[in-house]
Chains A and B, each alone.
Chain A
């Protein structure tokens, strides 16, 4: 067990327990076990208390226990006012060490998880759906990252409480634990099984050989697009900092400074926003800050194009590829380099705004062997050429009339853009290049939404 303890000048105590074990350790054929196990600890009864009793006890304290599962990490997070520390900790400890494994809790949580996949993700959030399908395309069946963290509908049907007990026993151990606490309190978790460190087998995903598109077909007013490919760079890699600067310059998450945002939304009004990533960033539509403790040994480069009108889908895709291509060919300018480097330096300090975030980042530092690089502009541009590209892409679109869209994509005819107001000549001249930017799409597959996560 490793411990990260920091102070807090306010009367709050923050807990962040991270087990280095996640969905990559799901038993073969049973995706969803890691996720369901975390839920049976965080959102269910313990051996001595029913879930109802726990809710009743926590409610007056306004305290809650949250679980987050990614491929290689499971987080249990909680916060309490110091007034309530003792009674809160007693319950928190029980949920971690002595879960109740009740059948009725299991049924409720299974239903919730299945509805999350079948209703929320398939039906209500085209952007997150597209991103998750992109991951499934990049990590093929058999790779430890292939399945959604919550599993599949059929797997959730087949998972048993015994699967969860086994997972908990093997992985929620001192050997896997990084204990984070902010505030003047040190939990005693010595009765937790010592265990041995879990070691998921994470391999490099296959190279992407050509451009291919998956269209998830469902009713939709517009078309959500995500695209990307695997990269060899994580925070442990010497090129990470250089690539972080490059990606921030291309499309810093939910800011209006990136090239993609400026060229696609600000100048052309194509959609609500366009961003780029070198690390997993779930639920980006709900949060401005990256969630800590989704650390991974393998990452992808990704571009997120928020829903675009059907008529301008090909133009938007082409413009994103054109910008990516321009980045690879020309690199970033001295001015962009200086501004982006300054942005990241200060922005990272601001990300530590809560004790939970401060703990989270400190814990991620223990996962990665972070290289302390101070890249020059030339280093950044070399890293771009080494790791980024505008071809050999996996592209995912969520759209209706998938067959029509497929035909357009394969035909690759020009896709001219029209505007509701006059535009400068240089922009119109650029559009002439963009509208014919080669798509070179080798394959388009249509997947009815009912088949995703089934």
Chain B
């Protein structure tokens, strides 16, 4: 494999700032449309308004004059569409997979709601309850709680302090902020924030024409959110959660990480360390999961973010008595990266793993579009994928050591534990 993202892409900018990326794929008749808005819970800068990007994603299904919700639903249903949306820190994504013959119908309908969304106060207040229901359904899951607490503890000023769902107090207050919801739409649902990704049985020239036809009149906005930047970390932090339902002890350790960058080595090196140190072939996994069997879940992530986020390691420990030693093992693993050069063969294995993993994951039109949606919200071009993977290739054992020394420091550490009260 030379380029890991080897599909031919057509990239086209409309005069209003909207970008269209078209990727023809050898899957007959299927088209996947991902509409990526480069705004997520990171953009919720006003106090008391956490969770609004996600709430707004719900409101986008509340109709326009041309397509009230019943008509919107009827059209979707007639096309057999698989359709949904998600919001996270840095993006809101609306996706629909359809037969080729229905593409223009869907493009027209989607353009209409991005341009002309309109909803009454009553619908807004009702939808706020569905969001509250979503918070409630997630609340049985310890990891949701742990990440909620981790963010609050690890960040002081950046909006990554709250989860995408938002602070519970803000969710409860949502029904009272109708005007803010209109403002949110006005700020971010604009062509310069939006990229359309079209993958599957598509012709780039015809797609350009269709998108120009339906999205060309959408007016550019002029808002840029000033997201407060988190100061350098100044000391280790820690907190514990008492969990009422019987569970196993969970240990979530994190270190302040870096922002996504496809050329700088920091971000790519931390990605590699998460696999070298904690994936299923790592020495730690072998020790804790296979030999000692003291842990039944171990993973690590250096999730891509627009601003510096967190490198996280999670372990679910079978017995409370072992939490301290598992924690020590995780610290030792990271100290190993600081103190020693990693084995070159292991490093090559991880690089190969990442390339094949990506290739295997893109096995249908929807999966390719979904992968692109993630990256275009960070760099707005598919080229970032190959650049990132080239950066992975360029990283040496010495790079890893230097970068580990920079990031795995006590001052940047935040730890959250969860378990049943003693």
Contact = CB atoms under 8 A, between A and B. Distances in A.
Given A10-B26, A256-B61, A420-B175, A59 B133 contact: no
A148 B360 CA distance: 32
Contact of A60 (B84, B296, B349): B349
Contact of B122 (A218, A344, A421): A421
Could you say which of B74, B137, B293 has the most chain A C-beta atoms within 10 Å of its C-beta? Answer: B137
Given A62-B353, A79-B360, A271-B130, A350 B77 contact: no
B134 A272 contact: yes
Contact of A222 (B82, B99, B137, B280): B137
B281 interface: yes
Contacts of B359: 12, 62, 81
Contacts of A419: 125-126
A339 B74 contact: yes
B360 A62 contact: yes
B394 interface: no
Interface stretch (B210-218, B225-233, B245-253, B400-408): B245-253
Interface stretch (A292-300, A301-309, A324-332, A367-375): A301-309
Contact of A309 (B127, B136, B318): B136
A345 interface: yes
Given A272-B137, A339-B74, A421-B125, A63 B360 contact: yes
Contact of B80 (A306, A309, A344): A344
A61 interface: yes
A270 B246 contact: no
Interface stretch (A137-145, A152-160, A260-268, A404-412): A260-268
Given A123-B245, A123-B247, A222-B136, A342 B69 contact: no
B281 A55 contact: yes
A111 B293 contact: yes
Contacts of B360: 12, 62-63, 79-81
A257 B73 contact: yes
Contacts of A55: 280-281
A270 B77 contact: no
B352 to A, nearest CB: 4
A124 B126 contact: no
Given A222-B136, A342-B78, A343-B80, A59 B280 contact: yes
Interface in B341-360: 348-349, 352-357, 359-360
Interface string A7-34: 0011010100000000000000000000
Interface string A221-242: 1101000000000000000000
Q: Of residues B78, B140, B142, B245, which shows the largest number of chain A Cβ atoms within 10 Å of its Cβ?
A: B140
B248 A343 contact: no
Contacts of B245: 122-124, 218-219, 449
Which one of B78, B279, B293 has the highest number of Cβ atoms from chain A below 10 Å of its Cβ? B78
Nearest to A307: B137
Contacts of B296: 111-112, 115
Interface stretch (B147-155, B179-187, B363-371): B363-371
Interface in A38-86: 51-52, 55-56, 59-63, 79-81, 83-84
A222 B360 CA distance: 39
Interface string B73-102: 110111111111000000000000111001
B136 A423 contact: no
Interface in A334-385: 339-340, 342-350, 353-355
A269 B130 contact: yes
- Residue from B27, B74, B80, B355 with most neighbouring chain A CB atoms (10 Å): B80
Interface in B284-325: 286, 289-290, 293, 296, 316, 318
Given A9-B26, A61-B356, A349-B80, 5 more contacts: A10-B26, A60-B352, A340-B77, A343-B79, A346-B80
